[in-house]
Structure 1
Amino acid sequence: MTTLSLRLPDSYHAMVKEITAKEEISINQFIISAVAEKISALETQNYLEERAERGSRNKFMAVLSKVPDTKPADYDR
Structure 2
Amino acid sequence: MTTIQLKLPDSIHRRIIEIANNDGISINQFLTTAAAEKLSAFDTVEYLRKRAKQSSEKAFQQALSEIPDIEPEPYDRL
TM-score range, shorter chain: 0.7 to 0.9
Aligned pair count reads 76
Query: TM (normalized to structure 1)?
Result: 0.81
> Which blocks of at least 5 consecutive residues in structure 2 are unaligned?
none
Identity %: 46
Deviation, 1:57, is 1.2
- After superposition, give the CA deviation of every residue in 1:7-66 in whole Å (9 maximum; x if it has no partner): 010000001111111111000000000000000000001111111111111123234445
Cα separation, partners in 2 of 1:8 and 1:48, compared to 1, 3 Å:
same
SS at 1:59 equivalent: helix
Find the aligned partners of 1:46 and 1:10 in 2 and give their Cα distance: 33
Q: Displaced runs of 4+ in structure 1, greater than 3 A? A: 62-68, 70-77
Asked which structure has the greater CA Rg, the reply is 1
Find the aligned partners of 2:4 and 2:27 in 1 and give their Cα distance: 13
Deviation, 1:2, is 0.3
